[in-house]
Amino acid sequence: MAPTHRVAAIQFEVKPVAPEENHARACTLIREAAAQGAELAVLPEFHLNGFAPTNPLYATQATTSPHYLKSYQALATELSISIVPGTFLEQHADPTPPSTTQPHPPNEDKNKITNHYYNKAYFIGPDGSILGSYIKRNLWISERGFISPPPASQAAGPARYPVFDTPIGRVGMLVCWDLAFPEAFRALIAAGAEVVIVPTYWTNNDASPALRAINPSCEPLFLSSILTSRCYENTCGIIFANVSGSASDSPDSSSSSGKYIGMSRVVMPIVGTVKTLDAREGVCVADMDMGLLKLAEENYCIRGDVKGQKWIS
Amino acid sequence: MAPTHRVAAIQFEVKPVAPEENHARACTLIREAAAQGAELAVLPEFHLNGFAPTNPLYATQATTSPHYLKSYQALATELSISIVPGTFLEQHADPTPPSTTQPHPPNEDKNKITNHYYNKAYFIGPDGSILGSYIKRNLWISERGFISPPPASQAAGPARYPVFDTPIGRVGMLVCWDLAFPEAFRALIAAGAEVVIVPTYWTNNDASPALRAINPSCEPLFLSSILTSRCYENTCGIIFANVSGSASDSPDSSSSSGKYIGMSRVVMPIVGTVKTLDAREGVCVADMDMGLLKLAEENYCIRGDVKGQKWIS
């Protein structure tokens, strides 16, 4: 019998530049997930302070991520649960140039050692240890003026898209806009990833007014089709945790209204969406049947073909 | 104003080893499409004789494709319509070994010059000329004992996934199981394809009974998610023509019942499915608004990023 893992994708409305408040909310929801028997809880991208690069507080807060990371490590140990605390905005003083020609943060003195801001995810095991990390590579357009892709030392090879063993199987992590690039998934499954964890800050406003006038559900359609598609085309499971609106702010749960999409979900091949949330705050607890991956591979042989580079070469 | 092209995806129940009957049906449906103003009509994969490799007649019929190709060229000229006559099973006597180690067709004398069977699509322009062709590369598992991938001369470079100019824009063609491989789409859009045409012979039975017991709509879910996803992730349009059941054989139009899926459709980014059929025979006539591609690229910049190899490298 293949194992089944109970996992939780957590979504809530992230308040800009309010890390203490967001951290407290996240901890409450992680406790809810643990109470429902989840082995793993995943938070959204930028879950501590949102995305507010023009706010003077924002860059300062990028130095506080080690403090919050330690707090989540302690919580993981206390609850004996794995935690992916979405992503942190992290400041790194890095004497080496970034791997692409990113513009510098606007408020930076170019004569100093370059400070890079990374968008970074961690996987914390149930004993509090850090089992893996990933710096977002495929930056969304509005991030590109402020956040750097990984440093040159991680520009190639397995470090590009790291894969590591966890209590729920072999895991890779991607962040938000990485979803649009099938190449990122291919690199992970070539290294044996069974589950891909995707913290996200994806809103309806990522489509321009022109696009939303044509289809108000433009972004939810993008997400729902691509998440299911990635599971089929790579024979992997996905845990997707997105930001949401608060329940009181979003009385209409339709994902096509307002800024927030939510849709945090667990997706697998064969069945597609195992369980999903609407646009409102919540904890999506779902059982991932790892046997589905074996059955899908027996039928489609995609991982075997990709590994052999036989049919796509 | 970006142009809008009226196109037709045609589906019908292909009778095994009955090319004359299938050809006649196809011609009737192409005339219907032309009467509705379509500039292009696309038929399903193996539309002349189905997939019946164990039938002794099947290999023999692979020699008749030039006859039917000429007939479609004449029809294109008569109606002044572009036609993609699905795919032909074609026999080629080829002294060079195939590009991968395919097993030989079971009834072949290994001492003779090797006969290869290809699964080949053509694009016929409205003046009857052949504007492009493509030999299916990513063969479905049951094809691999009988059909060869393209010859070694087409194993690399632009010939691998050819792209060509047509009255509806720059076009690439893929066939059926190619859909599962995002790499194939990436090769096409790197060469500038705006529309990808996909003749298909995809049935519910491509999922094993074990998979269908878990989700009777396993294959329709695969197809619907991947077609929309490919349009978003590549900023392209897709014309998808699949085999179907006859109307009388499929009184229940639900795509999860019976052998046939149908679902022939036109798909674009932003809007997803422009128009679709259910599992029954028919002609799906839809207007492709090429302006959607421009709007999508302005918003997502995916083709620009892929071309620059900037974010995915």
| Top-ranked range on mean pLDDT: pick from A155-169, A269-283, B242-256 | A269-283
Q: What is the pLDDT of residue B308?
A: 82
User: What is the fold of B7-88+122-136+161-308?
Assistant: Nitrilase/N-carbamoyl-D-aminoacid amidohydrolase (3.60.110)
Of B182, B230, B271, the CB nearest to A214: B271
Q: What is the pLDDT of residue A267?
A: 98
Mutate to test the interface with A, among B144, B219, B233, B292 (most CBs of A within 10 A): B233
Give me the residue label for tokens 């022939």: B264
- What is the tens place of the pLDDT at every residue in A188-216? 999 999 999 999 999 999 999 999 999 99
CA angle A20, A23, A29 (to 5 degrees): 145
Residue bearing the bigger pLDDT, B74 or B115? B74
Q: What is the pLDDT of residue A95?
A: 56
Chain A residues touching residue B310 (CB < 8 angstroms): 100
Q: What is the pLDDT of residue B251?
A: 47
Chain A residues touching residue B215 (CB < 8 angstroms): 270-272
- Percentage of chain B exceeding pLDDT 70: 89
Q: What is the pLDDT of residue A66?
A: 96
Q: Is B246 on the interface with A (CB under 8 A)?
A: no
CA angle B8, B13, B14 (to 5 degrees): 100
- Torsion angles phi and psi, residue A148, rounded to 5: -100, 150
Residue A103 has pLDDT above 60, yes or no: no
Per-residue exposure over B155-184, b if at least 16 CB sit within 10 Å of its own CB, e if not: eeeeebbbbbebbbbbbbbbbbbbbbbbbb
In this predicted complex, what is the ipTM? 0.93
- pLDDT category of residue B20 using cuts at 50, 70 and 90: very high
**Which of these ranges, A205-214, B6-15, B50-59, B239-248, has the smallest mean pLDDT?**
B239-248
Tell me how many residue pairs between chain A and chain B have CB atoms under 8 A apart.
Answer: 120
Closest Cα of chain B to A21: distance in Å?
32
* Mean pLDDT, all residues of chain A: 91
Residue B107 has pLDDT above 60, yes or no: no
Residue type, B94: D
CA distances from A304 to A71, A268, B116 (A): 41, 18, 25
Judged by CB atoms closer than 8 Å, whether chains meet at B215 and A271 is answered as yes
CB-based contact B220:A214 (threshold 8 Å)? no
Residue B103 has pLDDT above 50, yes or no: no
Query: Which residues, 6 or more positions from B309, have their beta carbon under 8 angstroms from its beta carbon?
Result: none
Q: What is the pLDDT of residue B260?
A: 95
As a whole number of angstroms, the distance between CA B197 and CA B266 comes to 9
- What is the tens place of the pLDDT at every residue in A25-57? 999 999 999 999 999 999 999 999 999 999 999
Dihedral (CA of A18, A24, A25, A26) sign: positive
- pLDDT category of residue A308 using cuts at 50, 70 and 90: confident
Burial label for B75, CB within 10 Å (0-12, 13-18, 19+), is buried
CA distances from B58 to A43, B65, B114, B122 (A): 56, 12, 17, 20
CA angle B92, B93, B99 (to 5 degrees): 75
What is the enclosing helix (H) or strand (E) of A300? helix A291-300
Burial label for B248, CB within 10 Å (0-12, 13-18, 19+), is exposed
* Interfacial A residues in 104-163 facing B (CB < 8 Å): 137-139, 141, 149, 155
Spell out where B72-162 has E strands.
82-84, 87-93, 115-124, 130-135
Give me the residue label for tokens 């293949």: A2
As a whole number of angstroms, the distance between CA A198 and CA A200 comes to 6
Paired tokens of A244 = 């949401």
* Mean pLDDT, all residues of chain B: 91
As a whole number of angstroms, the distance between CA A66 and CA B207 comes to 48
- What is the tens place of the pLDDT at every residue in A250-263? 545 444 568 999 99
Q: Kindly identify which residue of chain B lies nearest to residue A160, measuring between CA atoms.
A: B313
Q: Residue A9's closest CA among A230, A290, A274, A256? A: A274
Q: What is the pLDDT of residue B40?
A: 99
How long is chain A?
313
Region at B250 (left for phi over 0; alpha for psi -120 to 50; beta for the rest): beta
Residue B255 has pLDDT above 50, yes or no: no
- pLDDT category of residue B96 using cuts at 50, 70 and 90: low
* Interfacial A residues in 164-223 facing B (CB < 8 Å): 180-184, 186, 207-208, 210-211, 214-215, 218, 221-222
Alpha-carbon torsion, ordered A226, A230, A232, A237, to 10 deg: -120
- Percentage of chain B exceeding pLDDT 90: 81
Closest Cα of chain B to A215: distance in Å?
6
| Mean pLDDT, rounded, for B192-216 | 97
Residue A101 has pLDDT above 80, yes or no: no
Q: What is the pLDDT of residue B249?
A: 55
- pLDDT category of residue A158 using cuts at 50, 70 and 90: confident
Start-end of H helices in A106-208 = 182-190
CB-based contact A11:A282 (threshold 8 Å)? yes
Give me the residue label for tokens 């930076």: A108
Q: What is the pLDDT of residue B87?
A: 98
Chain B residues touching residue A302 (CB < 8 angstroms): 180
Q: What is the pLDDT of residue A155?
A: 75
- Percentage of chain A exceeding pLDDT 90: 81
Of A141, A180, A228, the CB nearest to B221: A228
- pLDDT category of residue B181 using cuts at 50, 70 and 90: very high
Q: Kindly identify which residue of chain B lies nearest to residue A210, measuring between CA atoms.
A: B295
- What is the tens place of the pLDDT at every residue in B114-166? 788 999 999 999 999 999 999 999 999 999 999 999 988 887 777 889 999 99
Closest Cα of chain B to A39: distance in Å?
24
Alpha-carbon torsion, ordered A82, A88, A94, A97, to 10 deg: 110
Residue A295 has pLDDT above 80, yes or no: yes
| Mean pLDDT, rounded, for B43-66 | 95
Q: Residue A201's closest CA among A252, A146, A263? A: A263
Query: Which residues, 6 or more positions from A279, have their beta carbon under 8 angstroms from its beta carbon?
Result: A244, A245, A250, A253, A254, A255, A257, A258, A260, A261, A262, A263
Q: What is the pLDDT of residue B151?
A: 86
Residue A312's SS3 state is: coil
Q: Residue B42's closest CA among B292, B244, B240? A: B240
Chain B residues touching residue A224 (CB < 8 angstroms): 225
**Which of these ranges, A16-20, B123-127, B157-161, B210-214, has the smallest mean pLDDT?**
B157-161
Give me the residue label for tokens 């027996």: A298
Judged by CB atoms closer than 8 Å, whether chains meet at A312 and B155 is answered as no
What is the enclosing helix (H) or strand (E) of B284? strand B282-289
